[in-house]
Structure 1
Protein backbone atom coordinates (compact mmCIF):
# COMPACT_ATOMS: atom_id res chain seq x y z
CA UNK A 1 0.00 0.00 0.00
CA UNK A 2 1.37 3.39 -0.97
CA UNK A 3 2.14 5.87 1.78
CA UNK A 4 -0.53 8.57 2.05
CA UNK A 5 0.88 12.10 2.15
CA UNK A 6 -1.86 13.05 4.63
CA UNK A 7 0.04 11.01 7.23
CA UNK A 8 3.63 11.37 5.98
CA UNK A 9 4.73 13.66 8.83
CA UNK A 10 3.41 11.22 11.41
CA UNK A 11 4.98 8.21 9.72
CA UNK A 12 8.32 10.05 9.54
CA UNK A 13 8.07 10.79 13.26
CA UNK A 14 7.22 7.15 13.91
CA UNK A 15 10.33 5.96 12.09
CA UNK A 16 12.43 8.27 14.27
CA UNK A 17 10.65 6.98 17.38
CA UNK A 18 11.26 3.36 16.38
CA UNK A 19 15.03 3.91 16.05
CA UNK A 20 15.50 3.71 19.82
CA UNK A 21 12.30 1.85 20.74
CA UNK A 22 12.79 0.09 24.07
CA UNK A 23 9.48 -1.70 24.68
CA UNK A 24 9.94 -4.55 22.20
CA UNK A 25 9.09 -7.86 23.85
CA UNK A 26 7.36 -6.18 26.80
CA UNK A 27 4.45 -8.29 28.07
CA UNK A 28 1.97 -5.39 28.27
CA UNK A 29 1.17 -5.51 31.98
CA UNK A 30 0.87 -2.23 33.86
CA UNK A 31 4.29 -2.17 35.58
CA UNK A 32 3.14 0.41 38.15
CA UNK A 33 -0.21 -1.35 38.61
CA UNK A 34 -2.10 1.75 37.48
CA UNK A 35 -4.98 2.39 35.10
CA UNK A 36 -5.90 5.95 34.19
CA UNK A 37 -9.35 6.83 32.84
CA UNK A 38 -9.29 10.33 31.42
CA UNK A 39 -10.58 12.64 28.75
CA UNK A 40 -9.34 12.66 25.18
CA UNK A 41 -8.32 16.33 25.62
CA UNK A 42 -4.89 16.93 24.10
CA UNK A 43 -3.80 19.08 27.04
CA UNK A 44 -3.63 15.97 29.22
CA UNK A 45 -0.41 13.94 29.31
CA UNK A 46 -1.70 11.10 31.51
CA UNK A 47 1.59 9.34 32.20
CA UNK A 48 3.83 12.31 32.85
CA UNK A 49 1.24 14.10 35.01
CA UNK A 50 1.68 11.36 37.66
CA UNK A 51 5.37 10.61 37.10
CA UNK A 52 4.93 7.45 35.03
CA UNK A 53 6.40 6.26 31.73
CA UNK A 54 5.36 4.05 28.83
CA UNK A 55 4.59 0.56 30.09
CA UNK A 56 3.67 1.68 33.61
CA UNK A 57 -0.10 2.13 33.19
CA UNK A 58 -3.16 1.33 31.13
CA UNK A 59 -4.63 4.49 29.61
CA UNK A 60 -8.34 4.67 28.77
CA UNK A 61 -9.55 7.86 27.09
CA UNK A 62 -12.94 9.13 25.99
CA UNK A 63 -14.83 12.43 25.87
CA UNK A 64 -15.09 13.66 29.46
CA UNK A 65 -13.11 10.81 31.02
CA UNK A 66 -16.25 8.87 31.89
CA UNK A 67 -16.42 5.34 33.26
CA UNK A 68 -18.58 3.75 30.56
CA UNK A 69 -19.49 0.10 30.06
CA UNK A 70 -16.49 -0.30 27.73
CA UNK A 71 -14.17 1.27 30.30
CA UNK A 72 -15.48 -1.19 32.89
CA UNK A 73 -14.68 -4.07 30.52
CA UNK A 74 -11.14 -2.74 30.15
CA UNK A 75 -10.80 -2.39 33.94
CA UNK A 76 -12.02 -5.96 34.52
CA UNK A 77 -9.39 -7.18 32.05
CA UNK A 78 -6.76 -4.89 33.53
CA UNK A 79 -7.36 -5.92 37.12
CA UNK A 80 -7.38 -9.65 36.38
CA UNK A 81 -4.86 -9.98 33.58
CA UNK A 82 -2.67 -6.87 33.42
CA UNK A 83 -1.53 -6.09 36.97
CA UNK A 84 -3.87 -3.12 37.61
CA UNK A 85 -4.57 -2.51 41.30
CA UNK A 86 -5.15 1.28 41.30
CA UNK A 87 -7.46 3.29 39.06
CA UNK A 88 -7.38 7.05 38.65
CA UNK A 89 -10.47 8.60 37.06
CA UNK A 90 -9.39 12.05 35.90
CA UNK A 91 -11.68 14.75 34.56
CA UNK A 92 -10.37 18.25 33.89
CA UNK A 93 -11.13 21.93 34.06
CA UNK A 94 -12.40 23.75 30.98
CA UNK A 95 -13.72 20.48 29.49
CA UNK A 96 -16.08 20.86 26.53
CA UNK A 97 -18.16 17.96 27.85
CA UNK A 98 -18.73 19.81 31.15
CA UNK A 99 -19.05 23.31 29.68
CA UNK A 100 -22.22 22.87 27.64
CA UNK A 101 -25.53 21.05 27.87
CA UNK A 102 -26.31 17.96 25.81
CA UNK A 103 -28.52 20.10 23.55
CA UNK A 104 -25.81 22.73 23.08
CA UNK A 105 -23.24 20.09 22.16
CA UNK A 106 -25.66 18.45 19.74
CA UNK A 107 -26.39 21.85 18.20
CA UNK A 108 -22.69 22.58 17.73
CA UNK A 109 -22.11 19.18 16.11
CA UNK A 110 -25.16 19.69 13.91
CA UNK A 111 -23.98 23.13 12.82
CA UNK A 112 -20.48 21.83 12.06
CA UNK A 113 -21.66 18.73 10.18
CA UNK A 114 -24.73 20.17 8.50
CA UNK A 115 -26.62 17.14 9.82
CA UNK A 116 -29.07 16.80 12.70
CA UNK A 117 -27.18 15.40 15.71
CA UNK A 118 -30.02 15.38 18.23
CA UNK A 119 -30.37 11.60 17.91
CA UNK A 120 -26.85 11.00 19.26
CA UNK A 121 -26.13 10.86 22.98
CA UNK A 122 -22.89 12.76 23.58
CA UNK A 123 -22.71 12.48 27.38
CA UNK A 124 -22.56 16.06 28.59
CA UNK A 125 -21.45 16.31 32.21
CA UNK A 126 -23.52 18.63 34.38
CA UNK A 127 -21.56 18.14 37.64
CA UNK A 128 -17.97 16.88 37.40
CA UNK A 129 -17.62 16.14 41.11
CA UNK A 130 -20.83 14.10 41.15
CA UNK A 131 -19.73 12.36 37.94
CA UNK A 132 -16.39 11.46 39.53
CA UNK A 133 -18.14 10.06 42.62
CA UNK A 134 -20.45 8.00 40.40
CA UNK A 135 -17.51 6.73 38.33
CA UNK A 136 -15.55 5.66 41.41
CA UNK A 137 -18.66 3.94 42.74
CA UNK A 138 -19.12 2.05 39.45
CA UNK A 139 -15.57 0.70 39.79
CA UNK A 140 -15.79 -0.08 43.52
CA UNK A 141 -19.12 -1.86 43.21
CA UNK A 142 -18.43 -3.86 40.03
CA UNK A 143 -18.71 -7.58 40.81
CA UNK A 144 -15.72 -8.47 38.60
CA UNK A 145 -13.35 -5.85 39.94
CA UNK A 146 -11.67 -7.09 43.14
CA UNK A 147 -12.29 -5.23 46.40
CA UNK A 148 -8.52 -4.84 46.71
CA UNK A 149 -8.46 -2.46 43.73
CA UNK A 150 -8.29 1.18 44.85
CA UNK A 151 -10.13 3.77 42.76
CA UNK A 152 -10.00 7.54 43.08
CA UNK A 153 -11.59 10.47 41.29
CA UNK A 154 -9.48 13.50 40.41
CA UNK A 155 -9.89 16.87 38.74
CA UNK A 156 -6.94 18.02 36.62
CA UNK A 157 -6.41 21.76 36.25
CA UNK A 158 -5.34 22.35 32.64
CA UNK A 159 -3.91 25.75 33.58
CA UNK A 160 -1.68 24.67 36.50
CA UNK A 161 -1.07 20.97 35.81
CA UNK A 162 -2.22 20.06 39.34
CA UNK A 163 -4.52 17.21 40.30
CA UNK A 164 -7.14 17.61 43.01
CA UNK A 165 -8.23 14.40 44.74
CA UNK A 166 -12.04 14.74 44.72
CA UNK A 167 -13.15 11.29 45.85
Structure 2
Protein backbone atom coordinates (compact mmCIF):
# COMPACT_ATOMS: atom_id res chain seq x y z
CA UNK A 1 0.00 0.00 0.00
CA UNK A 2 1.23 3.47 -0.84
CA UNK A 3 0.84 5.80 2.12
CA UNK A 4 1.53 9.48 2.76
CA UNK A 5 5.02 8.83 4.14
CA UNK A 6 5.92 7.03 0.90
CA UNK A 7 4.57 9.93 -1.15
CA UNK A 8 6.66 12.43 0.82
CA UNK A 9 9.76 10.25 0.29
CA UNK A 10 9.06 10.06 -3.44
CA UNK A 11 8.60 13.83 -3.51
CA UNK A 12 12.02 14.31 -1.93
CA UNK A 13 13.48 12.10 -4.68
CA UNK A 14 11.63 14.20 -7.27
CA UNK A 15 12.96 17.46 -5.84
CA UNK A 16 16.53 16.12 -5.78
CA UNK A 17 16.51 14.48 -9.20
CA UNK A 18 14.17 16.54 -11.36
CA UNK A 19 12.74 19.72 -9.94
CA UNK A 20 16.01 21.54 -9.33
CA UNK A 21 17.34 20.83 -12.80
CA UNK A 22 14.34 21.57 -15.01
CA UNK A 23 13.70 24.96 -16.57
CA UNK A 24 11.22 27.30 -14.90
CA UNK A 25 7.65 26.59 -15.94
CA UNK A 26 4.94 29.14 -16.58
CA UNK A 27 1.27 28.95 -15.68
CA UNK A 28 0.37 28.68 -19.38
CA UNK A 29 1.26 25.41 -21.07
CA UNK A 30 4.30 25.67 -23.30
CA UNK A 31 2.53 23.53 -25.91
CA UNK A 32 -0.65 25.63 -26.07
CA UNK A 33 -2.44 22.42 -25.16
CA UNK A 34 -5.15 21.14 -22.87
CA UNK A 35 -5.91 17.43 -22.59
CA UNK A 36 -9.14 16.05 -21.17
CA UNK A 37 -8.74 12.42 -20.12
CA UNK A 38 -10.09 9.76 -17.82
CA UNK A 39 -9.18 9.18 -14.17
CA UNK A 40 -8.43 5.52 -14.95
CA UNK A 41 -4.94 4.86 -13.49
CA UNK A 42 -3.96 2.93 -16.63
CA UNK A 43 -4.41 6.04 -18.76
CA UNK A 44 -2.20 8.85 -17.47
CA UNK A 45 -2.36 11.36 -20.34
CA UNK A 46 1.10 12.77 -19.63
CA UNK A 47 2.67 9.31 -19.90
CA UNK A 48 0.50 7.95 -22.73
CA UNK A 49 1.08 11.05 -24.88
CA UNK A 50 4.71 11.62 -23.85
CA UNK A 51 4.05 15.10 -22.51
CA UNK A 52 6.80 17.00 -20.73
CA UNK A 53 6.13 18.91 -17.48
CA UNK A 54 4.42 22.20 -18.29
CA UNK A 55 3.62 21.25 -21.88
CA UNK A 56 -0.15 20.82 -21.38
CA UNK A 57 -2.90 21.52 -18.91
CA UNK A 58 -4.59 18.22 -18.04
CA UNK A 59 -8.15 17.73 -16.82
CA UNK A 60 -9.14 14.25 -15.68
CA UNK A 61 -12.63 13.07 -14.86
CA UNK A 62 -14.78 9.94 -15.14
CA UNK A 63 -14.55 8.76 -18.75
CA UNK A 64 -12.58 11.83 -19.86
CA UNK A 65 -15.95 13.20 -20.87
CA UNK A 66 -16.84 16.77 -21.73
CA UNK A 67 -19.63 17.58 -19.29
CA UNK A 68 -21.07 20.94 -18.29
CA UNK A 69 -18.67 20.86 -15.32
CA UNK A 70 -15.74 20.24 -17.71
CA UNK A 71 -16.83 23.18 -19.87
CA UNK A 72 -17.00 25.40 -16.77
CA UNK A 73 -13.51 24.26 -15.73
CA UNK A 74 -12.17 25.01 -19.22
CA UNK A 75 -13.72 28.49 -19.08
CA UNK A 76 -12.08 29.14 -15.71
CA UNK A 77 -8.70 27.94 -16.99
CA UNK A 78 -9.09 30.20 -20.02
CA UNK A 79 -9.52 33.16 -17.68
CA UNK A 80 -6.37 32.18 -15.76
CA UNK A 81 -4.46 31.87 -19.02
CA UNK A 82 -5.73 35.24 -20.22
CA UNK A 83 -4.54 36.84 -16.98
CA UNK A 84 -1.04 35.64 -17.90
CA UNK A 85 -0.95 36.44 -21.62
CA UNK A 86 2.72 37.40 -21.51
CA UNK A 87 3.64 33.77 -20.80
CA UNK A 88 1.50 32.29 -23.58
CA UNK A 89 3.31 31.07 -26.68
CA UNK A 90 1.90 32.10 -30.05
CA UNK A 91 0.08 29.70 -32.34
CA UNK A 92 -3.02 27.54 -32.29
CA UNK A 93 -4.50 26.39 -28.99
CA UNK A 94 -5.00 22.61 -29.02
CA UNK A 95 -7.70 20.82 -27.05
CA UNK A 96 -7.14 17.06 -27.09
CA UNK A 97 -9.88 14.72 -25.89
CA UNK A 98 -8.46 11.34 -24.87
CA UNK A 99 -10.91 8.46 -24.37
CA UNK A 100 -9.88 4.82 -24.01
CA UNK A 101 -10.96 1.23 -24.47
CA UNK A 102 -12.16 -0.85 -21.51
CA UNK A 103 -13.34 2.29 -19.72
CA UNK A 104 -15.22 1.96 -16.45
CA UNK A 105 -17.72 4.44 -17.86
CA UNK A 106 -19.27 1.48 -19.70
CA UNK A 107 -20.06 -0.10 -16.32
CA UNK A 108 -22.06 3.00 -15.42
CA UNK A 109 -24.50 2.37 -18.27
CA UNK A 110 -26.41 0.25 -15.74
CA UNK A 111 -26.99 3.43 -13.69
CA UNK A 112 -28.80 5.81 -16.04
CA UNK A 113 -29.89 8.16 -13.27
CA UNK A 114 -26.25 8.62 -12.20
CA UNK A 115 -25.09 9.23 -15.77
CA UNK A 116 -27.93 11.65 -16.49
CA UNK A 117 -26.90 13.63 -13.43
CA UNK A 118 -23.22 13.54 -14.51
CA UNK A 119 -24.01 14.85 -17.99
CA UNK A 120 -26.75 17.17 -16.66
CA UNK A 121 -29.26 15.81 -19.17
CA UNK A 122 -32.52 13.84 -19.03
CA UNK A 123 -32.13 10.04 -18.92
CA UNK A 124 -33.93 9.85 -22.29
CA UNK A 125 -30.96 11.66 -23.90
CA UNK A 126 -28.24 9.28 -22.66
CA UNK A 127 -28.08 7.17 -25.83
CA UNK A 128 -26.68 10.19 -27.68
CA UNK A 129 -23.67 10.24 -25.31
CA UNK A 130 -22.32 6.93 -26.69
CA UNK A 131 -21.31 5.75 -23.22
CA UNK A 132 -20.40 2.21 -24.30
CA UNK A 133 -18.17 3.16 -27.28
CA UNK A 134 -14.99 5.23 -26.82
CA UNK A 135 -14.77 6.00 -30.55
CA UNK A 136 -18.33 7.25 -30.59
CA UNK A 137 -17.98 9.11 -27.30
CA UNK A 138 -14.89 11.02 -28.42
CA UNK A 139 -16.76 12.08 -31.57
CA UNK A 140 -19.75 13.18 -29.47
CA UNK A 141 -17.50 15.21 -27.18
CA UNK A 142 -15.48 16.87 -29.96
CA UNK A 143 -18.77 17.89 -31.58
CA UNK A 144 -19.94 19.29 -28.24
CA UNK A 145 -16.75 21.34 -27.85
CA UNK A 146 -17.12 22.69 -31.38
CA UNK A 147 -20.65 23.87 -30.50
CA UNK A 148 -19.88 25.29 -27.06
CA UNK A 149 -16.41 26.85 -27.31
CA UNK A 150 -15.45 29.63 -29.67
CA UNK A 151 -12.14 31.17 -30.44
CA UNK A 152 -9.72 31.97 -33.21
CA UNK A 153 -6.76 29.66 -33.70
CA UNK A 154 -8.40 26.91 -31.65
CA UNK A 155 -8.26 23.23 -32.64
CA UNK A 156 -10.01 20.22 -31.10
CA UNK A 157 -9.08 16.59 -31.69
CA UNK A 158 -10.23 13.23 -30.40
CA UNK A 159 -7.94 10.31 -29.61
CA UNK A 160 -8.69 6.81 -28.35
CA UNK A 161 -6.08 4.94 -26.31
CA UNK A 162 -6.15 1.15 -26.48
CA UNK A 163 -5.35 -0.15 -22.98
CA UNK A 164 -4.37 -3.58 -24.35
CA UNK A 165 -1.79 -2.34 -26.89
CA UNK A 166 -0.77 1.09 -25.55
CA UNK A 167 -1.44 2.65 -28.95
CA UNK A 168 -3.35 5.87 -29.55
CA UNK A 169 -5.62 6.24 -32.57
CA UNK A 170 -6.69 9.59 -33.98
CA UNK A 171 -10.48 9.37 -34.24
CA UNK A 172 -11.10 13.06 -34.86
CA UNK A 173 -8.14 14.87 -36.48
CA UNK A 174 -7.36 18.41 -35.31
CA UNK A 175 -10.35 20.44 -36.44
CA UNK A 176 -10.74 24.24 -36.17
CA UNK A 177 -13.43 25.48 -33.82
CA UNK A 178 -15.69 28.11 -35.37
CA UNK A 179 -14.68 31.64 -34.38
CA UNK A 180 -16.95 33.88 -32.28
TM-score category of the 2 structures, normalised to the smaller one: 0.7 to 0.9
- Correspondent of 2:164 among 145, 156, 159: 159
Partner of 1:89: 97
Q: Residue 148 in 1 paired to residue 153 in 2?
A: yes
Partner of 2:19: 21
1:53, distance to aligned residue in structure 2 (A) = 0.6
TM-score normalized by the length of structure 1: 0.74
Q: Is the 8 A contact 2:109 2:115 kept in 1?
A: no
Q: Is the 8 A contact 1:35 1:87 kept in 2?
A: yes
Q: Is the 8 A contact 1:49 1:161 kept in 2?
A: yes
Q: What RMSD, in angstroms, separates the aligned Cα atoms of the two structures?
A: 3.0
Q: Residue 48 in 1 paired to residue 53 in 2?
A: no
- How many equivalent residue pairs? 150
Partner of 1:115: none
TM-score normalized by the length of structure 2: 0.69
Q: Residue 10 in 1 paired to residue 13 in 2?
A: no
1:130, distance to aligned residue in structure 2 (A) = 3.0
1:85, distance to aligned residue in structure 2 (A) = 0.5
SS of aligned partner of 1:36: strand
Give the Cα separation in 1 of the matches to 2:168 and 2:35. 13
Task: Specify every segment of 5 or more residues in structure 1 that has no aligned partner in the other structure, as ranges.
Answer: 107-117
- Correspondent of 1:103 among 107, 111, 133: 111
Task: Specify every segment of 5 or more residues in structure 2 that has no aligned partner in the other structure, as ranges.
Answer: 82-87, 120-125, 173-180
Higher mean alpha-carbon deviation, 148-157 vs 73-82, is at 73-82
1:128, distance to aligned residue in structure 2 (A) = 2.8
Q: Residue 128 in 1 paired to residue 126 in 2?
A: no
Give the Cα separation in 2 of the matches to 1:140 and 1:73. 15
Give the Cα separation in 1 of the matches to 2:154 and 2:78. 8
Q: Is the 8 A contact 2:160 2:169 kept in 1?
A: yes
